[in-house]
Amino acid sequence: MPRRVLTGRVTSDKMDKTITVLVERRIMHPLYKKFIRRSKKYAAHDEDNVCKIGDMVRIEECRPLSKRKTWLAIERNGQVLVEQPAEGVAA
């Protein structure tokens, strides 16, 4: 099963090797048919502490790293942070 990938903005980098990412999505109201914004914050792993507040990052789902942290920062402002292993290739 493929891992989910989300895009959001870094809102906090005060923790060591962890960033808080705000992900916004637009949904249509079922009755009024108006688009409304919904947002959620995710704790993501940032191994080298390179992400700063305001950066646009892509985060990928991973195994639980702590109680709240199950996401990994893979890209920052278009620059790849983590090399992805090849899909379907046995090591």
pTM, two decimals, is 0.85
Please state which of the four CATH numbers 3.40.190.10, 2.40.110.10, 3.40.50.300, 2.40.50.140 is assigned to the domain occupying 5-80.
2.40.50.140
Burial of 42 (C-beta count, 10 Å sphere; 0-12/13-18/19+): middle
Q: Over range 60-86, report the average pLDDT.
A: 89
pLDDT cut 90: percent of the chain above it = 82
Calpha distance 27→30 (Å, rounded): 9
**Residue 75 pLDDT greater than 90, yes or no:** yes
Average pLDDT of the residues of the chain: 92
Q: Which residues pair with 8 in a beta bridge?
A: 57
Question: Can you give the residue ranges of every domain in the chain?
Answer: 5-80
Q: What is the pLDDT of residue 42?
A: 97
Mean of the pLDDT values across residues 61-88? 87
Concatenate the DSSP letters of all residues of 12-41 into one string: E--STTEEEEEEEEEEE-TTT--EEEEEEE
Is residue 48 within 8 A of residue 13, CB to CB? The reply is: no
